[in-house]
Structure 1
Amino acid sequence: MLKTIPWRMMARGCSLGVLAGLLVVAFESSDFQGEICEYNQATKHEDCTTYSLFPFLLIKVFDTLNYYGVAITALATVFIGVFTLTLKLSTDNLWTAAKDQIAAAENAAKMQSRDMQASIAVAQSAANAANKSAKVAEDALTVLEKPYVFIDRRIALSKSIMEIKDFKALNADSLCHIGVEYFIINHGRTPAIIKNLTTTMLIVANIPEHRTITGTPEIPTAIGMAQGVPDGPLKCLSNEAATVVICDEILRGCKFLFFYGQISYRDVFSYEYLTGFGWRYFVNANIWNPAGGDEYNFHMNVSPEPMKKAPFRF
């Protein structure tokens, strides 16, 4: 405990003690003599006693305090009351200051909490924006780099309708189908892995309203396709055998050839896609044009996030 008291205060206390002792010794050794007299009722005279300076002063002070004891007590009571009032006022001020400090601390804590929550919200928004930006960038990269596999416009009959009619006229018992040759091509920027290619060719008067895949796969599974390199020619035969009557109906425009199908493939990012196509043969012009609308002509993501099929235009 003494280590916590400054050495200057200890020096001052020692000095005051030494000074008080020296004063007492000086008073006792001085030649001053003081008398204190008391009236004796028996002898009717005053009895006086001689004292040195220090005891004389002590006795006088004691007598004075004894004589004015009531006044001193009253004065002390007043001082104690004033001190108590001052202490109460100081305590009240201290309590008020403490309450204000507590309120200020609570307000500061609330403001700090609001600021922290706002900062967290801003950070969360920034993180969400960064995630969205990363997702947008990923989607954009996937869209830019993914393969696009379609049927090439180079579609042709293996033999003309007139050649098939003439053949059937001479060989009525021979089985003959109308055949179409076509190519598939990757228009994207990365390789495509073909999972399945299915085609059908109908001889119809009207295009079926709903697409039905009834054909068989034309190529094996997992055939790779590089960018811009066509695969083919591949061949698809009509769903029914050709006859002279059927050939005449096609030549007169009563019926026509409708070639359709779908290509299932995936890219290097493991996304899977499905492309549908439909083509109609115009015998007089000897050309194939896209037909069947959005029901037959579309391109869609299959996985990992399936999307509504989107039609494509030629």
Structure 2
Amino acid sequence: MLKGWRGYEIVLGAVVASAAWAVLLILTSYPNGVATSLHEIGQHLDLVSAFITAIATAFIARYTLTLKRSTDKLWDAGEKQFALARETSDRQNVEVQHQIDIAKEAGRAAQKSADAAVAAERARFYVVIKKHNLADFLSLAGMYPNSPTMPYSFEPVIEYAFKNYGKTPGIISEVSHGLIVHEAPPDPVYQVSDHLFVENMIAAGETTETQKFDGPVLFDTIADALPILTGQKHFWFCGRFDYTDVFGNPQVHRFFMRYVKTGLQWGFQPYDHKHYNQSS
């Protein structure tokens, strides 16, 4: 195919050239260039027409085949281009997702670092038992182990406070407490303290005003106290201290303590029970 020529121009040129050649052949086949009869001329023209049609059909078929091959090549090139584009897109998507994951991980690390910094600086309160009358109660009850029916009423009193062991102030929100007598660790039951604080913001290293638990009468006779003396039952002192740190975050310290005898001395001891004795 000649450079710069379009396919249909080549076909048209070939048909015209073939027709001219055929007409010239017919005219030169007769003496003096004149046909003997119109009938013969028509027959020859029919042959020329058929010949031209055959040539044109061949050229068209050839052109159609060439066009199909070109179309197939264009289709294959398009498919390859599409596959390449899809592969590139997939690779870019993976890379973008990888970068997003890296950014998320960096964000989480930064958040953890910030949280750790805040946690290291914020207020942290823990309960401190100051005094109580439980030892006096048990000492007196122990003097009458053989008189279980002897009337013996008792109203426990426990004074305690919360010390800020953190590095920044904390603001008191609410204090709750309760005292239970039971064999095994009970489910904590407590009520809000009715003490009104004069100072609600407690600086680092400082202690809150003293709280006082003066609960209901728990005993009627000596028999009620004897299981505590023998270790079959215990006093369980529990509660929670709600406060807000200087960063505006609500916090809570829960406490759960058992009154036990160690050697010759009685005292409160933190007891690991559920989520108690933890400071958020």
Residue deviations 1:121-173 (CA, integer Å, cap 9, x gap) = 32432343244334433443343334321112x532379728x96xxxxxxxx
Q: Mapping of 1:127-138 within 5 angstroms?
A: 127-138=103-114
Would the aligned equivalents of 1:199 and 1:218 in 2 still touch at CA under 8 Å?
Answer: no
Of 91-100 and 260-269, the range deviating more from structure 2: 91-100
Which residue, 158, 181, 185 being the options, matches 2:159? 181
Query: By how many angstroms is 1:193 displaced?
Result: 1.7
Query: By how many angstroms is 1:294 displaced?
Result: 0.5
Q: Partners in 1 of 2:83 and 2:229 — Cα distance?
A: 92
Q: Partners in 2 of 1:272 and 1:151 — Cα distance?
A: 14
Which residue, 214, 225, 232 being the options, matches 1:237? 214
1:69 aligns with 2:24: yes
Tell me the equivalent position of 1:36. none
Identity of aligned residues (%): 14
Could you tell me which runs of 5 or more consecutive residues in structure 2 were left unpaired when the two chains were aligned: 1-19, 29-47, 141-152
Q: Partners in 2 of 1:142 and 1:240 — Cα distance?
A: 44
Which residue, 125, 133, 148 being the options, matches 2:124? 148
Residue deviations 1:4-26 (CA, integer Å, cap 9, x gap) = xxxxxxxxxxxxxxxxxxxxxxx
Would the aligned equivalents of 1:201 and 1:237 in 2 still touch at CA under 8 Å?
Answer: no
> Counterpart of 2:157 in structure 1: which amino acid?
G
Q: Name the structure, 1 or 2, with higher relative contact order (CA <8 Å, separation 6+).
A: 2
Would the aligned equivalents of 1:207 and 1:258 in 2 still touch at CA under 8 Å?
Answer: no
Q: Partners in 2 of 1:123 and 1:251 — Cα distance?
A: 64
Would the aligned equivalents of 1:193 and 1:223 in 2 still touch at CA under 8 Å?
Answer: yes
Give RMSD over aligned pairs. 4.7
Tell me the equivalent position of 2:252. 273
Query: By how many angstroms is 1:106 displaced?
Result: 1.7
- How many residue pairs match? The answer is 223
> Counterpart of 2:172 in structure 1: which amino acid?
I
Q: Partners in 1 of 2:56 and 2:268 — Cα distance?
A: 115
Look up the SS of the partner of 1:128 in the other structure.
Answer: helix
Would the aligned equivalents of 1:147 and 1:191 in 2 still touch at CA under 8 Å?
Answer: yes
> Counterpart of 1:299 in structure 2: which amino acid?
Q
> Counterpart of 1:143 in structure 2: which amino acid?
A
Which residue, 88, 92, 102 being the options, matches 1:116? 92
Tell me the equivalent position of 2:190. 213
- TM score, norm. by length of structure 1: 0.52
Which residue, 221, 225, 231 being the options, matches 2:202? 225
Tell me the equivalent position of 2:31. none
Look up the SS of the partner of 2:278 in the other structure.
Answer: strand
Q: 1:298 to 1:237 in 2, by over 3 A?
A: same
Q: 1:87 to 1:228 in 2, by over 3 A?
A: same
Tell me the equivalent position of 1:294. 273
Residue deviations 1:232-287 (CA, integer Å, cap 9, x gap) = 44333353289996999699668865433221222223233242232416497444
Could you tell me which runs of 5 or more consecutive residues in structure 1 were left unpaired when the two chains were aligned: 1-64, 166-174, 302-314
Would the aligned equivalents of 2:234 and 2:259 in 1 still touch at CA under 8 Å?
Answer: yes
Q: 1:283 to 1:120 in 2, by over 3 A?
A: closer
1:161 aligns with 2:136: yes
> Counterpart of 1:147 in structure 2: which amino acid?
A
Q: 1:182 to 1:92 in 2, by over 3 A?
A: closer
Query: By how many angstroms is 1:101 displaced?
Result: 2.1
1:100 aligns with 2:79: no
Q: 1:292 to 1:100 in 2, by over 3 A?
A: closer
Q: Mapping of 1:47-66 within 5 angstroms?
A: none
> Counterpart of 1:161 in structure 2: which amino acid?
D
Q: Partners in 1 of 2:272 and 2:218 — Cα distance?
A: 27
Would the aligned equivalents of 2:260 and 2:269 in 1 still touch at CA under 8 Å?
Answer: no
Structure whose CA Rg is larger: 1
Would the aligned equivalents of 1:146 and 1:188 in 2 still touch at CA under 8 Å?
Answer: yes
Look up the SS of the partner of 1:280 in the other structure.
Answer: strand
